[in-house]
């Protein structure tokens, strides 16, 4: 599997438009120890020809331009054969509305995520300009789904949706019932390869069954949103704890780093969906040093790997 | 009035994600005669302290980062005191959904544009996380509206909405009734200054009353979407004529350039909202030469002027 990180920040990006915290200020000042990041999205491909986006960030246009294999190869064309959604958060879905201009689009998502996006959403009609423009393919928990090339043939990649502790998107909390399908991780395999990718950008808490998946992967991306539970509270940026937003903090005795550090058999363990306030974003921070000491990496825009 | 062009392309930007036309290919190749452009949005300010966005493009995050006066000046802050919408097209409105993260937001729009965005739109609830987060202020045709600083005081700028020939956004065509408020131009004045700005990024046809407004301006931005009526048809990129999309072509005997060229009393006449297929984007094209010969400019991202 060819993998390219298009964006590695949580919703709002880094720096965030209305944030002047130390991290955001350092990024704007061009500090050598801090890299700006767009919002989380990863491109994957079996053959380097057909590509799939894991989540469609609001910044998808710039992200496509940043990676030449995603550029069109004809007057009207896109090598992007499909988009996979891990939940209905706006930082994962808003980019769908930018992938219009009369281009057919396959979107892989659970029924809950699909309905959360399509119900009560007149904006989505921009993707329904002709019959078949928007084609939803269902992800069912625990069931393998082949990713298709634009011509409908098998791309060589299959994925399986794994329920992950999460929550409804903020804008749907009052209107929809919760479901185990609201937030998923992905188990991605390439035909003929023993090496799997686990993609879990949002994980609200420790679950043994999630780690039973991770430990079989050759590489995993994992929720790196917050370092600590009270990160926003201490910066006086809001009254919510990380867990209230369904993000398991990385740091501390009960943090995800303790668990991820133990997965030495997973060659690449990479944090993604990093919030602008996370001290990991400063590469000279003690938190970043602790991360590297545990054998865990921090995703950045442009990171590539191949399994 | 201080004016900064944040983005100058039509919907889809330049290059456009699924377009490999000669223009887009040249932009990707870094041709010296072609500049990449983000989607149309302009920032204005009376004092350089409080700023207002004319339209909120999907690329608003990168556009804010590109212009330091729009950066926050405290841990939670934005110098953006409001957003003005000229119509409900997604390339003008989608950016509103990126201006969240618990920041109050004033949006100035006609009732038709406001309702077109808010009705049947669960995504907009991301801007309703607390009472007063999203505050719509009505623009009424022919009536002056003061633009307010964040603290509610007068910013020194007033604007007046002028009906412009247009149409409903594509995604609302089937569901809403047409109104003269669907598409407007803006007449922007600064207190104490004799110099006005006219902002008309979408104009579907010639109207004497629009030109009666333009001719009194010190600077005007005008619809530069298409050079010719059959631009997309000739490139085999769609069956629609420019006029079907409510954009008056720039070129030809009946084009807007003939009219704009006659407005020699308007010191700056600037085309904006330029589609990726428009030959004006090639600065060595005969069309671009004709534009300059008529005393008309082409907006680019980063262009600044002051009236």
- Mark yes or no for CB contact A76/B100 under 8 Å: no
- Mark yes or no for CB contact B17/A78 under 8 Å: yes
Residues A219, A239 contacting (CB under 8 angstroms): no
B218: left (phi over 0), alpha (psi -120 to 50) or beta: alpha
DSSP state of B123: G
CB-hemisphere CA count at 13 Å for B182?
Answer: 17
Q: pLDDT of B166-222, one tens digit each? A: 999 999 999 999 999 999 999 999 999 999 999 999 999 999 999 999 999 999 999
Which residues does chain A have within 8 Å of residue B113's beta carbon, measured at their own beta carbons?
Answer: none
Q: pLDDT of A4-37, one tens digit each? A: 999 999 999 999 999 999 999 999 999 999 999 9
DSSP state of B303: -
**Residue reference for tokens 């680019």:** B300
Cα separation, B177 vs B183, whole angstroms: 13
Give me the residues of A, 88-117, that contact B with CB < 8 A: 90, 94, 97-103, 116
The average pLDDT across A115-138 equals 96
Task: Please return the burial class of B56, using the count of CB atoms within 10 Å of its CB with bins 0-12, 13-18 and 19+.
Answer: buried
- Mark yes or no for CB contact B170/A18 under 8 Å: no
CB of A208 within 8 Å of any CB in chain B?
A: no
Cα separation, A156 vs A148, whole angstroms: 8
**Nearest to residue A260, comparing CAs of A307, A302, A219?**
A219
* d(CA B142, nearest CA chain A) in Å: 29
Encode B204-217: b = buried (16+ Cβ within 10 Å), e = exposed. beeeeebbebbeeb
Residue B239 has what pLDDT? 75
Residue A235 has what pLDDT? 86
Beta partners for A2?
Answer: A45, A306
How many CB atoms are closer than 10 A to CB B267?
14
Contacts of A101 (CB under 8 A, 6+ apart): B11, B12, B16, B17, B18, B19
**Confidence (pTM):** 0.98
**Residue reference for tokens 């084609």:** A135
Helix segments in chain B, DSSP class H? 22-28, 60-65, 90-93, 111-118, 208-214, 231-234, 256-261, 286-293
Measured in degrees and rounded to the nearest 5, phi and psi for residue B98 equal -95, -10
Confidence of residue B236 (pLDDT cuts 50, 70, 90): confident
Contacts of B151 (CB under 8 A, 6+ apart): none
Q: pLDDT of A213-242, one tens digit each? A: 999 999 999 999 999 999 999 887 777 999
Residue B216 has what pLDDT? 98
Residue B7 has what pLDDT? 98
- Two structure tokens written together for B49: 């302290």
How many CB atoms are closer than 10 A to CB B161?
24
CB of B21 within 8 Å of any CB in chain A?
A: yes
Residues B213, B116 contacting (CB under 8 angstroms): no
Cα separation, A256 vs A185, whole angstroms: 15
Beta partners for B109?
Answer: B138
How many CB atoms are closer than 10 A to CB B3?
21
- Which residue from B minimizes the CA distance to A92? B98
**Nearest to residue B259, comparing CAs of B306, B203, B304?**
B203
Confidence of residue B102 (pLDDT cuts 50, 70, 90): confident
Which residues does chain A have within 8 Å of residue B169's beta carbon, measured at their own beta carbons?
Answer: 126
CB of A123 within 8 Å of any CB in chain B?
A: yes
ipTM (interface predicted TM)? 0.97
Question: Pairing between strand B41-45 and B2-7?
Answer: antiparallel
* d(CA A171, nearest CA chain B) in Å: 5
Give the residue from B77, B80, B122 with the most A CB atoms within 10 Å of its CB, the best one to mutate. Answer: B122
The average pLDDT across B41-61 equals 98
Residue A51 has what pLDDT? 98
Q: Is the peptide bond before A15 cis (omega within 30 degrees of 0)?
A: yes
Which residues does chain B have within 8 Å of residue A89's beta carbon, measured at their own beta carbons?
Answer: none
Compare B300 and A235 and report the one with higher pLDDT. Answer: B300
């Amino acid at each position: 599997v060819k993998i390219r990180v298009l964006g590695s920040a949580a919703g709002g990006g880094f720096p965030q438009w209305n944030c002047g915290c130390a991290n955001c200020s350092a990024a704007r000042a061009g500090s050598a120890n801090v890299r700006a990041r767009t919002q989380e999205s990863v491109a994957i491909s079996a053959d380097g020809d057909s590509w799939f986006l894991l989540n469609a960030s609001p910044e998808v246009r710039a992200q496509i331009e940043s990676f030449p294999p995603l550029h069109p190869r004809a007057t009207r064309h896109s090598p992007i054969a499909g988009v996979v959604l891990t939940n209905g958060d706006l930082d994962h879905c808003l980019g769908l509305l930018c992938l219009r201009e009369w281009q057919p689009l396959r979107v892989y998502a659970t029924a809950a995520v699909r309905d959360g996006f399509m119900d009560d959403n007149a904006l989505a009609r921009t993707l329904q300009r002709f019959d078949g423009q928007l084609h939803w393919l269902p992800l069912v928990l625990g069931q393998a789904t082949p990713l298709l090339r634009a011509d409908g043939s098998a791309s060589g990649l299959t994925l399986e949706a794994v329920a992950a502790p999460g929550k409804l998107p903020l804008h749907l909390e009052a209107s929809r019932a919760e479901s185990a399908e609201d937030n998923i991780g992905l188990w991605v395999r390439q035909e003929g390869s023993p090496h799997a990718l686990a993609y879990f950008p949002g994980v609200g808490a420790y679950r043994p069954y999630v780690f039973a998946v991770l430990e079989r992967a050759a590489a995993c991306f994992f929720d790196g949103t917050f370092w600590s539970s009270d990160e926003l509270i201490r910066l006086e940026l809001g009254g919510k704890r990380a867990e209230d937003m369904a993000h398991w903090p990385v740091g501390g005795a009960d943090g995800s780093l303790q668990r991820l550090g133990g997965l030495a058999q997973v060659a690449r363990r990479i944090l993604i969906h990093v919030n602008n306030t996370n001290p990991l974003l400063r590469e000279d921070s003690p938190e970043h040093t602790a991360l590297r000491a545990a054998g865990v990496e921090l995703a950045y825009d442009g990171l590539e790997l191949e399994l």
